[in-house]
């Protein structure tokens, strides 16, 4: 297999070692299960997925990928972790879902595809790679004109440090310790600026507000911690 670039080996090992936990709704990825319906709502409020060709970048075990496929989309999920893709493939097969899973990353796939996608999603990945802008560029290369790309990540400020790292990882144990590195968080203004450099225009920006006590999530308020951004390809 081609050696993938723009991969943090420590991050890859970290998530690969937890691959068996992807579908444990009380395990390491429980918060992704809690927020999944909210992420899907953000997408489907803008786009009717039925019959569309969709790419999920950094799909992990396929939590969002499966939800997209259930909407009737022709769905591809990619991840740099062989372990993650193995778990995702097994779970999709068990649930009779036809999803094209590949062990690769956005940069490599962008060199090979012949048909572009109507929608690309990239959730909670940009803050885990050395060069997030490289993923944005690769996504631009794979999206159809007028297509949507949806990113979600974490803002960089004192509040996000307090909530996402101190509270999330150390006080409430919502995530394993060491899941996030503060310096890799991305301000919305930075993400929008990078997207604009590749003719991707911001269409909607929303906070993702998570209540750890109720285990509920909503799209509301200022994007000061977790947020989700929809951009549209101008060309």
Summarised one tens digit per residue, pLDDT across range 65-98 is 999 999 999 999 999 999 999 999 999 999 999 9
3-state secondary structure of 181: coil
CATH number of the 9-233 domain: 3.40.50.150
Strand partners, 54: 75, 119
Query: Quick one: what percent of the chain has pLDDT higher than 70?
Result: 99
- Across the chain, mean pLDDT equals 96
Residue 220, exposed/middle/buried by CB under 10 A (0-12, 13-18, 19+)? exposed
Which residue, among 102, 182, 207, 198, has the nearest Cα to 143 in the 3D structure? 198
> Which residue matches tokens 């691959």?
19
Query: Quick one: what percent of the chain has pLDDT higher than 90?
Result: 94
DSSP 127: G
In 104-142, beta strands by DSSP E: 117-123
Distance CA 66, CA 95 (A): 9
What distances in angstroms separate CA 178 from CA 10, 35, 168, 181, one per listed residue? 11, 20, 10, 7
Residue 2's pLDDT is what? 65
DSSP 187: -
Residue 125's pLDDT is what? 98
Residue 161's pLDDT is what? 94
Tens digit of each residue's pLDDT (9 = 90 or more) over 154-173: 999 999 999 999 999 999 98
pLDDT band at residue 1, thresholds of 50, 70 and 90? low
Tens digit of each residue's pLDDT (9 = 90 or more) over 94-149: 999 999 999 999 999 999 999 999 999 999 999 999 999 999 999 999 999 999 99
């Amino acid at each position: 297999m081609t050696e993938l670039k723009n991969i943090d080996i420590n991050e890859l090992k970290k998530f690969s070692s937890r691959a068996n936990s992807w579908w444990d709704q009380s395990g390491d990825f429980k918060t992704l299960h809690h927020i999944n319906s909210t992420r899907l709502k953000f997408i489907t409020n803008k786009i009717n997925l039925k019959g569309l060709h969709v790419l999920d970048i950094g799909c992990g075990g396929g939590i969002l990928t499966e939800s997209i496929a259930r909407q009737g989309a022709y769905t591809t999920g990619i991840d740099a972790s062989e372990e993650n893709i193995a778990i995702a493939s097994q779970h999709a097969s068990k649930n009779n879902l036809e999803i094209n899973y590949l062990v690769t990353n956005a940069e490599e796939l962008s060199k090979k595809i012949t048909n572009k996608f109507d929608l690309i999603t990239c959730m909670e990945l940009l803050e885990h790679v050395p060069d997030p802008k490289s993923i944005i560029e690769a996504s631009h290369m794979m999206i159809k004109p007028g297509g949507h790309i949806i990113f979600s990540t974490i803002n960089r400020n004192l509040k996000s440090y307090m909530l996402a790292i101190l509270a999330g990882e150390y006080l409430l144990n919502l995530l394993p310790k060491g899941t996030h590195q503060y310096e890799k968080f991305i301000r919305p203004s930075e993400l929008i600026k990078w997207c604009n450099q590749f003719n991707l225009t911001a269409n909607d920006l929303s906070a993702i507000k998570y209540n750890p006590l109720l285990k509920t999530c909503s799209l509301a308020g200022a994007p000061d911690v977790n947020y989700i951004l929809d951009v549209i390809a101008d060309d």
